[in-house]
Amino acid sequence: MGQIYIEKFTIPFEMADVNGNLKLPSFLPKVLEVSGNHSAQLGRSDVDVWETYHLVWIVTDYEFIVDKLPRFGQEVQIRTEAVAYNKLICYRTFDIFDQDDQHLMTIKSYFALMNPETRKIVSVPEDLIAPYGSEKVKKIARSAKYTNLDGANQVEFFVRYFDIDRNGHVNNSKYLEWVYEVLGYDFLKGHQPRRIHLKYNREVTPGGKISSQYQLSNLTSQHQIVSDGQINAQAIVEWRTNDL
Amino acid sequence: MGQIYIEKFTIPFEMADVNGNLKLPSFLPKVLEVSGNHSAQLGRSDVDVWETYHLVWIVTDYEFIVDKLPRFGQEVQIRTEAVAYNKLICYRTFDIFDQDDQHLMTIKSYFALMNPETRKIVSVPEDLIAPYGSEKVKKIARSAKYTNLDGANQVEFFVRYFDIDRNGHVNNSKYLEWVYEVLGYDFLKGHQPRRIHLKYNREVTPGGKISSQYQLSNLTSQHQIVSDGQINAQAIVEWRTNDL
Protein backbone atom coordinates (compact mmCIF):
# COMPACT_ATOMS: atom_id res chain seq x y z
CA MET A 1 0.00 0.00 0.00
CA GLY A 2 1.21 3.50 -0.83
CA GLN A 3 1.99 6.21 1.70
CA ILE A 4 -1.16 7.92 2.93
CA TYR A 5 -1.29 11.63 3.62
CA ILE A 6 -4.19 13.49 5.24
CA GLU A 7 -5.24 17.14 5.46
CA LYS A 8 -8.34 18.80 6.84
CA PHE A 9 -10.09 21.50 4.84
CA THR A 10 -13.17 23.67 5.33
CA ILE A 11 -15.16 24.41 2.15
CA PRO A 12 -15.00 28.22 1.68
CA PHE A 13 -17.74 30.43 0.26
CA GLU A 14 -16.13 30.81 -3.16
CA MET A 15 -15.98 27.02 -3.63
CA ALA A 16 -19.75 26.69 -3.12
CA ASP A 17 -22.29 26.96 -5.94
CA VAL A 18 -25.72 28.61 -5.71
CA ASN A 19 -27.03 25.46 -3.96
CA GLY A 20 -24.20 25.49 -1.42
CA ASN A 21 -22.60 22.41 -3.01
CA LEU A 22 -18.86 22.15 -3.71
CA LYS A 23 -17.82 23.42 -7.16
CA LEU A 24 -15.69 20.50 -8.36
CA PRO A 25 -13.61 22.58 -10.83
CA SER A 26 -12.59 24.93 -7.99
CA PHE A 27 -11.66 21.96 -5.82
CA LEU A 28 -9.13 20.53 -8.29
CA PRO A 29 -6.39 23.07 -7.45
CA LYS A 30 -6.93 22.21 -3.77
CA VAL A 31 -6.41 18.47 -4.24
CA LEU A 32 -3.30 19.17 -6.33
CA GLU A 33 -2.02 21.37 -3.51
CA VAL A 34 -2.59 18.49 -1.05
CA SER A 35 -0.79 16.14 -3.42
CA GLY A 36 2.07 18.67 -3.61
CA ASN A 37 2.25 18.90 0.20
CA HIS A 38 2.37 15.10 0.40
CA SER A 39 5.21 15.00 -2.12
CA ALA A 40 7.13 17.78 -0.37
CA GLN A 41 6.91 15.85 2.90
CA LEU A 42 8.55 12.92 1.10
CA GLY A 43 11.33 15.12 -0.31
CA ARG A 44 9.71 15.15 -3.75
CA SER A 45 8.36 18.69 -4.10
CA ASP A 46 7.89 20.10 -7.60
CA VAL A 47 11.11 22.05 -7.05
CA ASP A 48 12.99 18.85 -6.07
CA VAL A 49 11.63 17.02 -9.13
CA TRP A 50 12.66 19.90 -11.33
CA GLU A 51 16.12 20.36 -9.83
CA THR A 52 17.02 16.68 -9.58
CA TYR A 53 15.32 15.22 -12.67
CA HIS A 54 14.46 18.21 -14.89
CA LEU A 55 10.92 16.91 -15.09
CA VAL A 56 7.45 18.26 -14.30
CA TRP A 57 4.28 16.39 -13.36
CA ILE A 58 1.25 16.62 -15.64
CA VAL A 59 -2.24 15.25 -15.04
CA THR A 60 -3.50 12.99 -17.82
CA ASP A 61 -6.92 11.86 -16.48
CA TYR A 62 -9.32 12.31 -13.60
CA GLU A 63 -12.24 10.23 -12.42
CA PHE A 64 -14.71 11.53 -9.83
CA ILE A 65 -17.06 9.22 -7.96
CA VAL A 66 -19.46 11.32 -5.90
CA ASP A 67 -21.59 9.83 -3.13
CA LYS A 68 -22.47 13.24 -1.69
CA LEU A 69 -21.00 16.62 -2.56
CA PRO A 70 -19.31 18.48 0.30
CA ARG A 71 -21.20 21.62 1.36
CA PHE A 72 -20.25 25.22 2.09
CA GLY A 73 -18.69 25.55 5.55
CA GLN A 74 -18.28 21.79 5.98
CA GLU A 75 -14.97 20.55 7.37
CA VAL A 76 -13.76 17.59 5.34
CA GLN A 77 -10.77 15.30 5.50
CA ILE A 78 -8.80 14.84 2.29
CA ARG A 79 -6.99 11.52 2.36
CA THR A 80 -4.62 10.81 -0.51
CA GLU A 81 -2.61 7.75 -1.47
CA ALA A 82 -0.08 7.25 -4.24
CA VAL A 83 -1.51 3.82 -5.04
CA ALA A 84 0.37 2.42 -8.00
CA TYR A 85 2.53 3.19 -11.02
CA ASN A 86 3.73 1.59 -14.20
CA LYS A 87 6.35 2.65 -16.71
CA LEU A 88 4.63 5.91 -17.65
CA ILE A 89 1.67 6.56 -15.36
CA CYS A 90 1.31 7.18 -11.61
CA TYR A 91 -2.08 6.58 -10.06
CA ARG A 92 -3.17 8.55 -6.97
CA THR A 93 -6.50 8.59 -5.15
CA PHE A 94 -8.09 11.31 -3.02
CA ASP A 95 -10.87 10.23 -0.67
CA ILE A 96 -12.98 12.90 0.96
CA PHE A 97 -14.66 12.20 4.31
CA ASP A 98 -16.98 14.27 6.48
CA GLN A 99 -16.49 14.94 10.20
CA ASP A 100 -18.23 11.67 11.09
CA ASP A 101 -15.79 9.79 8.83
CA GLN A 102 -18.52 9.15 6.26
CA HIS A 103 -17.15 8.83 2.73
CA LEU A 104 -18.27 11.70 0.47
CA MET A 105 -16.35 11.18 -2.74
CA THR A 106 -13.30 9.75 -4.46
CA ILE A 107 -11.10 11.47 -7.03
CA LYS A 108 -8.84 9.14 -9.01
CA SER A 109 -5.97 10.95 -10.67
CA TYR A 110 -3.39 9.87 -13.24
CA PHE A 111 -0.08 11.66 -13.58
CA ALA A 112 2.85 11.46 -15.97
CA LEU A 113 6.29 13.07 -15.96
CA MET A 114 7.14 15.39 -18.83
CA ASN A 115 10.42 16.84 -20.00
CA PRO A 116 9.35 20.46 -20.49
CA GLU A 117 11.91 21.08 -23.23
CA THR A 118 10.92 18.19 -25.49
CA ARG A 119 7.25 18.21 -24.21
CA LYS A 120 7.63 14.38 -24.19
CA ILE A 121 6.46 11.97 -21.49
CA VAL A 122 9.33 10.03 -19.91
CA SER A 123 9.57 6.81 -17.88
CA VAL A 124 9.02 7.17 -14.15
CA PRO A 125 12.48 7.07 -12.46
CA GLU A 126 12.50 4.37 -9.77
CA ASP A 127 14.27 6.52 -7.16
CA LEU A 128 11.86 9.41 -7.75
CA ILE A 129 8.85 7.22 -7.00
CA ALA A 130 10.42 5.08 -4.22
CA PRO A 131 9.42 7.26 -1.19
CA TYR A 132 5.70 6.99 -2.06
CA GLY A 133 5.61 3.23 -1.44
CA SER A 134 3.40 2.80 -4.51
CA GLU A 135 2.90 -0.64 -6.01
CA LYS A 136 4.59 -1.22 -9.36
CA VAL A 137 2.09 -2.73 -11.80
CA LYS A 138 2.00 -3.70 -15.48
CA LYS A 139 -1.12 -1.79 -16.37
CA ILE A 140 -2.99 1.16 -14.93
CA ALA A 141 -6.62 0.63 -15.91
CA ARG A 142 -8.78 3.58 -16.95
CA SER A 143 -12.32 2.59 -17.73
CA ALA A 144 -13.89 5.38 -19.78
CA LYS A 145 -14.81 4.81 -23.43
CA TYR A 146 -14.80 8.22 -25.05
CA THR A 147 -16.40 8.49 -28.46
CA ASN A 148 -15.73 11.34 -30.86
CA LEU A 149 -18.86 13.48 -31.01
CA ASP A 150 -20.31 14.25 -34.42
CA GLY A 151 -22.85 17.01 -34.86
CA ALA A 152 -22.87 17.79 -31.17
CA ASN A 153 -24.21 20.96 -29.58
CA GLN A 154 -21.47 23.46 -28.95
CA VAL A 155 -20.71 26.64 -27.05
CA GLU A 156 -17.61 28.68 -27.78
CA PHE A 157 -15.47 30.15 -25.01
CA PHE A 158 -12.71 32.71 -25.36
CA VAL A 159 -9.60 31.64 -23.50
CA ARG A 160 -9.27 34.18 -20.69
CA TYR A 161 -6.09 35.68 -19.26
CA PHE A 162 -6.98 34.27 -15.84
CA ASP A 163 -7.46 30.78 -17.36
CA ILE A 164 -3.70 30.64 -17.95
CA ASP A 165 -1.55 29.41 -15.09
CA ARG A 166 2.16 29.80 -14.38
CA ASN A 167 2.88 26.92 -16.76
CA GLY A 168 1.73 29.18 -19.62
CA HIS A 169 -1.28 27.09 -20.62
CA VAL A 170 -4.91 26.78 -19.58
CA ASN A 171 -5.07 25.38 -16.05
CA ASN A 172 -6.49 21.86 -16.00
CA SER A 173 -9.38 22.91 -13.73
CA LYS A 174 -10.74 25.22 -16.45
CA TYR A 175 -11.57 22.38 -18.85
CA LEU A 176 -14.03 21.04 -16.31
CA GLU A 177 -15.69 24.48 -16.13
CA TRP A 178 -16.10 24.42 -19.93
CA VAL A 179 -17.62 20.94 -19.61
CA TYR A 180 -20.15 22.05 -16.99
CA GLU A 181 -21.11 25.44 -18.39
CA VAL A 182 -22.53 24.20 -21.72
CA LEU A 183 -25.39 22.53 -19.87
CA GLY A 184 -26.78 25.86 -18.70
CA TYR A 185 -27.92 27.36 -15.43
CA ASP A 186 -31.23 25.54 -15.03
CA PHE A 187 -29.77 22.08 -15.64
CA LEU A 188 -26.79 22.70 -13.34
CA LYS A 189 -28.96 24.12 -10.56
CA GLY A 190 -31.14 21.02 -10.69
CA HIS A 191 -28.44 18.34 -11.06
CA GLN A 192 -25.13 17.26 -9.64
CA PRO A 193 -22.54 14.81 -10.96
CA ARG A 194 -22.56 11.21 -9.80
CA ARG A 195 -19.48 10.25 -11.81
CA ILE A 196 -17.10 12.15 -14.10
CA HIS A 197 -14.39 10.86 -16.42
CA LEU A 198 -12.06 13.54 -17.76
CA LYS A 199 -9.11 13.02 -20.08
CA TYR A 200 -6.58 15.62 -21.18
CA ASN A 201 -5.30 15.13 -24.73
CA ARG A 202 -3.57 18.37 -25.65
CA GLU A 203 -2.90 21.64 -23.86
CA VAL A 204 -4.78 24.86 -24.70
CA THR A 205 -2.47 27.85 -25.10
CA PRO A 206 -3.22 31.57 -24.54
CA GLY A 207 -5.43 33.56 -26.92
CA GLY A 208 -8.08 32.28 -29.28
CA LYS A 209 -11.14 30.31 -28.33
CA ILE A 210 -12.27 26.75 -27.77
CA SER A 211 -15.44 24.91 -28.68
CA SER A 212 -17.05 22.99 -25.83
CA GLN A 213 -19.16 20.30 -27.50
CA TYR A 214 -21.62 17.94 -25.86
CA GLN A 215 -24.44 15.45 -26.19
CA LEU A 216 -26.83 14.87 -23.29
CA SER A 217 -28.95 11.75 -23.15
CA ASN A 218 -30.61 9.98 -20.19
CA LEU A 219 -28.67 12.01 -17.59
CA THR A 220 -25.32 11.14 -19.17
CA SER A 221 -23.45 13.87 -21.02
CA GLN A 222 -20.51 13.31 -23.35
CA HIS A 223 -18.12 16.17 -23.96
CA GLN A 224 -15.15 17.23 -26.00
CA ILE A 225 -13.13 20.44 -25.90
CA VAL A 226 -11.88 21.29 -29.39
CA SER A 227 -9.56 23.98 -30.71
CA ASP A 228 -7.82 24.34 -34.09
CA GLY A 229 -9.60 21.16 -35.25
CA GLN A 230 -8.04 18.99 -32.55
CA ILE A 231 -9.47 17.50 -29.37
CA ASN A 232 -7.97 19.03 -26.22
CA ALA A 233 -9.99 17.06 -23.69
CA GLN A 234 -12.86 14.58 -23.42
CA ALA A 235 -15.31 13.93 -20.64
CA ILE A 236 -18.28 11.78 -19.69
CA VAL A 237 -20.53 12.90 -16.85
CA GLU A 238 -23.30 10.89 -15.20
CA TRP A 239 -25.75 13.25 -13.48
CA ARG A 240 -28.31 12.85 -10.73
CA THR A 241 -31.19 15.12 -9.82
CA ASN A 242 -30.62 17.38 -6.81
CA ASP A 243 -32.88 16.77 -3.84
CA LEU A 244 -33.56 20.36 -2.87
CA MET B 1 -8.85 53.37 16.08
CA GLY B 2 -10.84 50.30 15.12
CA GLN B 3 -10.10 46.75 16.20
CA ILE B 4 -7.29 45.21 14.18
CA TYR B 5 -7.32 41.60 13.11
CA ILE B 6 -4.43 39.74 11.44
CA GLU B 7 -4.11 36.48 9.47
CA LYS B 8 -1.22 34.94 7.58
CA PHE B 9 -1.78 33.51 4.12
CA THR B 10 0.40 31.84 1.49
CA ILE B 11 -0.47 32.68 -2.13
CA PRO B 12 -1.51 29.36 -3.73
CA PHE B 13 -0.87 28.29 -7.34
CA GLU B 14 -4.43 28.97 -8.49
CA MET B 15 -4.25 32.58 -7.27
CA ALA B 16 -1.18 33.29 -9.42
CA ASP B 17 -1.33 34.50 -13.01
CA VAL B 18 1.00 33.46 -15.83
CA ASN B 19 3.62 35.89 -14.45
CA GLY B 20 3.35 34.46 -10.93
CA ASN B 21 1.61 37.61 -9.66
CA LEU B 22 -1.48 37.52 -7.45
CA LYS B 23 -4.78 37.51 -9.37
CA LEU B 24 -6.66 40.27 -7.57
CA PRO B 25 -10.15 38.98 -8.46
CA SER B 26 -9.32 35.60 -6.88
CA PHE B 27 -8.01 37.35 -3.78
CA LEU B 28 -11.29 39.19 -3.06
CA PRO B 29 -13.07 36.12 -1.61
CA LYS B 30 -10.02 35.61 0.64
CA VAL B 31 -10.12 39.12 2.12
CA LEU B 32 -13.87 38.78 2.67
CA GLU B 33 -13.20 35.50 4.49
CA VAL B 34 -10.67 37.29 6.71
CA SER B 35 -13.20 40.04 7.36
CA GLY B 36 -15.75 37.35 8.25
CA ASN B 37 -13.32 35.69 10.66
CA HIS B 38 -12.67 39.06 12.31
CA SER B 39 -16.39 39.65 12.71
CA ALA B 40 -17.01 36.14 14.07
CA GLN B 41 -14.30 36.70 16.69
CA LEU B 42 -16.24 39.80 17.82
CA GLY B 43 -19.54 37.89 18.00
CA ARG B 44 -20.74 39.42 14.73
CA SER B 45 -20.58 36.52 12.26
CA ASP B 46 -22.86 36.63 9.21
CA VAL B 47 -25.08 34.13 11.04
CA ASP B 48 -25.25 36.38 14.13
CA VAL B 49 -26.08 39.42 11.98
CA TRP B 50 -28.80 37.46 10.25
CA GLU B 51 -30.29 35.92 13.36
CA THR B 52 -30.17 39.06 15.52
CA TYR B 53 -30.85 41.80 12.98
CA HIS B 54 -32.23 40.03 9.87
CA LEU B 55 -29.65 41.88 7.80
CA VAL B 56 -26.84 40.90 5.41
CA TRP B 57 -23.64 42.74 4.52
CA ILE B 58 -23.09 43.87 0.95
CA VAL B 59 -19.97 45.43 -0.56
CA THR B 60 -20.61 48.77 -2.30
CA ASP B 61 -17.09 49.83 -3.38
CA TYR B 62 -13.47 48.72 -3.40
CA GLU B 63 -10.27 50.63 -3.88
CA PHE B 64 -6.94 48.86 -4.44
CA ILE B 65 -3.62 50.64 -4.02
CA VAL B 66 -0.83 48.33 -5.16
CA ASP B 67 2.82 48.98 -4.33
CA LYS B 68 3.89 45.47 -5.30
CA LEU B 69 1.71 42.48 -6.13
CA PRO B 70 2.17 39.45 -3.88
CA ARG B 71 3.73 36.47 -5.69
CA PHE B 72 2.97 32.76 -5.95
CA GLY B 73 4.19 30.92 -2.84
CA GLN B 74 4.79 34.10 -0.87
CA GLU B 75 3.58 34.20 2.72
CA VAL B 76 1.80 37.47 3.40
CA GLN B 77 0.15 39.02 6.43
CA ILE B 78 -3.38 40.34 5.93
CA ARG B 79 -4.08 43.06 8.48
CA THR B 80 -7.63 44.41 8.56
CA GLU B 81 -9.22 47.24 10.49
CA ALA B 82 -12.86 48.35 10.69
CA VAL B 83 -11.84 51.99 10.51
CA ALA B 84 -14.99 54.11 10.46
CA TYR B 85 -18.71 54.19 9.77
CA ASN B 86 -21.49 56.66 9.21
CA LYS B 87 -25.25 56.21 9.05
CA LEU B 88 -25.18 53.88 6.02
CA ILE B 89 -21.60 52.89 5.19
CA CYS B 90 -18.89 50.97 7.06
CA TYR B 91 -15.31 51.45 5.92
CA ARG B 92 -12.72 48.68 6.37
CA THR B 93 -9.11 48.48 5.21
CA PHE B 94 -6.96 45.46 4.42
CA ASP B 95 -3.20 46.00 4.39
CA ILE B 96 -1.00 43.29 2.97
CA PHE B 97 2.59 42.93 4.18
CA ASP B 98 5.40 40.59 3.16
CA GLN B 99 7.49 38.49 5.58
CA ASP B 100 9.84 41.43 6.18
CA ASP B 101 6.87 43.59 7.13
CA GLN B 102 7.16 45.60 3.91
CA HIS B 103 3.83 46.97 2.75
CA LEU B 104 2.62 45.40 -0.52
CA MET B 105 -0.87 46.77 -1.01
CA THR B 106 -3.99 48.23 0.55
CA ILE B 107 -7.58 47.29 -0.19
CA LYS B 108 -10.17 49.81 1.00
CA SER B 109 -13.65 48.32 1.24
CA TYR B 110 -17.06 49.87 1.81
CA PHE B 111 -19.95 47.85 3.18
CA ALA B 112 -23.63 48.45 3.77
CA LEU B 113 -26.32 46.45 5.53
CA MET B 114 -29.27 45.26 3.46
CA ASN B 115 -32.64 43.86 4.43
CA PRO B 116 -32.78 40.89 2.04
CA GLU B 117 -36.58 40.95 1.82
CA THR B 118 -36.97 44.59 0.82
CA ARG B 119 -33.47 44.69 -0.88
CA LYS B 120 -33.12 48.11 0.82
CA ILE B 121 -30.07 49.50 2.61
CA VAL B 122 -30.73 50.21 6.30
CA SER B 123 -29.01 52.36 8.94
CA VAL B 124 -26.12 50.71 10.76
CA PRO B 125 -27.41 49.61 14.23
CA GLU B 126 -25.15 51.07 16.94
CA ASP B 127 -24.98 47.84 18.97
CA LEU B 128 -24.11 45.81 15.86
CA ILE B 129 -21.09 48.01 15.08
CA ALA B 130 -19.98 48.65 18.70
CA PRO B 131 -17.54 45.70 19.10
CA TYR B 132 -15.46 46.83 16.10
CA GLY B 133 -14.36 50.06 17.84
CA SER B 134 -14.82 51.97 14.58
CA GLU B 135 -14.94 55.75 14.60
CA LYS B 136 -18.36 57.27 13.88
CA VAL B 137 -18.02 59.96 11.22
CA LYS B 138 -20.31 62.23 9.22
CA LYS B 139 -19.00 61.35 5.81
CA ILE B 140 -17.15 58.39 4.32
CA ALA B 141 -15.12 59.79 1.42
CA ARG B 142 -14.77 57.87 -1.82
CA SER B 143 -12.63 59.61 -4.36
CA ALA B 144 -13.37 58.09 -7.76
CA LYS B 145 -15.13 60.11 -10.44
CA TYR B 146 -16.77 57.62 -12.77
CA THR B 147 -18.01 58.91 -16.09
CA ASN B 148 -20.58 57.10 -18.19
CA LEU B 149 -18.83 55.70 -21.25
CA ASP B 150 -20.25 56.50 -24.64
CA GLY B 151 -19.15 54.58 -27.71
CA ALA B 152 -16.72 52.48 -25.71
CA ASN B 153 -15.19 49.20 -26.83
CA GLN B 154 -17.11 46.24 -25.50
CA VAL B 155 -16.86 42.51 -24.99
CA GLU B 156 -19.90 40.42 -24.09
CA PHE B 157 -19.74 37.71 -21.45
CA PHE B 158 -22.37 35.06 -20.77
CA VAL B 159 -23.14 34.85 -17.07
CA ARG B 160 -21.85 31.42 -16.04
CA TYR B 161 -23.38 29.00 -13.54
CA PHE B 162 -20.19 29.15 -11.48
CA ASP B 163 -20.33 32.99 -11.44
CA ILE B 164 -23.39 32.73 -9.18
CA ASP B 165 -22.76 32.44 -5.45
CA ARG B 166 -24.98 31.23 -2.62
CA ASN B 167 -26.67 34.63 -2.54
CA GLY B 168 -28.17 33.82 -5.95
CA HIS B 169 -26.38 36.59 -7.86
CA VAL B 170 -23.01 37.06 -9.57
CA ASN B 171 -20.27 37.05 -6.95
CA ASN B 172 -18.66 40.46 -6.56
CA SER B 173 -15.22 39.10 -7.51
CA LYS B 174 -16.48 38.24 -11.03
CA TYR B 175 -17.08 41.87 -12.02
CA LEU B 176 -13.37 42.52 -11.61
CA GLU B 177 -12.62 39.57 -13.94
CA TRP B 178 -14.92 41.12 -16.56
CA VAL B 179 -13.04 44.42 -16.09
CA TYR B 180 -9.63 42.82 -16.60
CA GLU B 181 -10.45 40.40 -19.41
CA VAL B 182 -11.53 43.00 -22.00
CA LEU B 183 -7.95 44.30 -22.16
CA GLY B 184 -6.71 41.03 -23.65
CA TYR B 185 -3.89 38.61 -22.95
CA ASP B 186 -0.96 40.65 -24.26
CA PHE B 187 -1.87 43.80 -22.35
CA LEU B 188 -2.53 41.90 -19.11
CA LYS B 189 0.69 39.89 -19.39
CA GLY B 190 2.66 43.12 -19.77
CA HIS B 191 0.92 45.29 -17.17
CA GLN B 192 -0.30 45.21 -13.60
CA PRO B 193 -2.66 47.53 -11.74
CA ARG B 194 -1.27 50.38 -9.67
CA ARG B 195 -4.69 51.53 -8.47
CA ILE B 196 -8.26 50.28 -8.97
CA HIS B 197 -11.56 51.91 -8.10
CA LEU B 198 -14.57 49.59 -8.34
CA LYS B 199 -18.18 50.47 -7.58
CA TYR B 200 -21.15 48.12 -7.51
CA ASN B 201 -24.41 49.70 -8.66
CA ARG B 202 -26.78 46.81 -9.28
CA GLU B 203 -26.56 43.04 -8.93
CA VAL B 204 -26.32 40.71 -11.95
CA THR B 205 -28.70 37.77 -11.77
CA PRO B 206 -28.38 34.29 -13.35
CA GLY B 207 -28.76 33.72 -17.07
CA GLY B 208 -28.28 36.20 -19.88
CA LYS B 209 -25.15 38.12 -20.63
CA ILE B 210 -23.38 41.34 -19.70
CA SER B 211 -21.45 43.85 -21.75
CA SER B 212 -18.04 44.79 -20.36
CA GLN B 213 -17.26 48.21 -21.83
CA TYR B 214 -14.00 50.13 -21.61
CA GLN B 215 -11.83 52.98 -22.81
CA LEU B 216 -8.06 52.80 -22.42
CA SER B 217 -5.95 55.92 -22.59
CA ASN B 218 -2.47 56.71 -21.20
CA LEU B 219 -2.38 53.57 -19.02
CA THR B 220 -5.71 54.41 -17.40
CA SER B 221 -8.75 52.32 -18.30
CA GLN B 222 -12.35 53.24 -17.51
CA HIS B 223 -14.93 50.49 -17.35
CA GLN B 224 -18.60 49.82 -16.98
CA ILE B 225 -20.49 46.53 -16.76
CA VAL B 226 -23.90 46.86 -18.40
CA SER B 227 -26.90 44.53 -18.65
CA ASP B 228 -30.49 45.21 -19.69
CA GLY B 229 -29.52 48.82 -20.45
CA GLN B 230 -28.43 49.53 -16.87
CA ILE B 231 -25.00 49.93 -15.30
CA ASN B 232 -24.15 47.12 -12.88
CA ALA B 233 -20.67 48.27 -11.95
CA GLN B 234 -18.06 50.89 -12.81
CA ALA B 235 -14.29 50.84 -12.50
CA ILE B 236 -11.20 52.91 -13.14
CA VAL B 237 -7.83 51.17 -13.33
CA GLU B 238 -4.40 52.82 -13.44
CA TRP B 239 -1.86 50.41 -14.92
CA ARG B 240 1.91 50.14 -14.80
CA THR B 241 4.22 48.19 -17.07
CA ASN B 242 5.52 44.91 -15.64
CA ASP B 243 9.27 44.74 -15.08
CA LEU B 244 9.89 41.21 -16.29
For the residues A205-234, what does the mean pLDDT come to? 96
The Cα B153–Cα B223 span in angstroms is 10
The Cα A222–Cα A240 span in angstroms is 15
Residues in chain A: 244
Average pLDDT, chain B: 95
Amino acid at B75: E
Which pLDDT band holds residue A59 (cuts at 50, 70, 90)? very high
Which A-chain residues 214-233 have CB contacts (< 8 A) with chain B? none
pLDDT value at A160 more than 90? yes
How do residues B178-210 score in pLDDT, each as one tens digit? 999 999 999 999 999 999 999 999 999 998 999
pLDDT of residue A1: 79
Count CB-CB contacts under 10 A for residue B51: 9
Question: Are B207 and A185 spatial neighbours (Cβ–Cβ below 8 Å)?
Answer: yes
Percentage of chain B lying above the pLDDT 90 cut: 91
Count interface pairs A-B at CB distance under 8 A.
92
> Cβ of A166 under 8 Å from any chain B Cβ?
yes
> Cβ of A118 under 8 Å from any chain B Cβ?
no
pLDDT value at A88 more than 90? yes
pLDDT value at B150 more than 90? no
The Cα B180–Cα B14 span in angstroms is 17
Task: Give alpha helix (H) positions in A94-160.
Answer: 126-129
This complex has an ipTM of: 0.93
From B18, B32, B162, residue closest to A165, measured CB to CB: B18
pLDDT of residue A152: 83
Which pLDDT band holds residue A3 (cuts at 50, 70, 90)? confident
Which pLDDT band holds residue B152 (cuts at 50, 70, 90)? confident
Which pLDDT band holds residue B173 (cuts at 50, 70, 90)? very high
> A126 CB contacts (<8 Å, ≥6 apart)?
none
pLDDT of residue B151: 78
Chain-chain contact of B14 with A165 (C-beta, under 8 angstroms): yes
Which B-chain residues 188-217 have CB contacts (< 8 A) with chain A? 188-189, 206-207
pTM of structure: 0.94
pLDDT value at A143 more than 80? no
pLDDT of residue B212: 98
Average pLDDT, chain A: 95
Could you tell me which of B206, B184, B160, B171 has the C-alpha nearest to residue A212?
B160
Compute the nearest-CA separation of B155 from chain A (Å): 11
Cβ-count burial B25-43 (b if 16+ within 10 Å, e if not): bbbbbbbbbbbbebbeebe
For the residues B35-56, what does the mean pLDDT come to? 95
pLDDT value at A38 more than 80? yes
Which pLDDT band holds residue A244 (cuts at 50, 70, 90)? low
Chain-chain contact of B164 with A177 (C-beta, under 8 angstroms): no
Residues in chain B: 244
Beta-bridged to residue B62, according to DSSP, are B109, B198
How do residues A227-241 score in pLDDT, each as one tens digit? 999 999 999 999 999
Chain-chain contact of A207 with B189 (C-beta, under 8 angstroms): no
**What are the chain A neighbours of B189 within 8 Å (beta carbons)?**
161, 206
**What are the chain B neighbours of A165 within 8 Å (beta carbons)?**
13-14, 16-18
Question: Are B67 and B57 spatial neighbours (Cβ–Cβ below 8 Å)?
Answer: no
Amino acid at A237: V
> Cβ of A184 under 8 Å from any chain B Cβ?
yes
**What are the chain B neighbours of A169 within 8 Å (beta carbons)?**
none
> Cβ of A165 under 8 Å from any chain B Cβ?
yes
> Cβ of B170 under 8 Å from any chain A Cβ?
no
Could you tell me which of A192, A163, A162, A185 has the C-alpha nearest to residue B204?
A185
pLDDT of residue B109: 98
The Cα A211–Cα A200 span in angstroms is 15
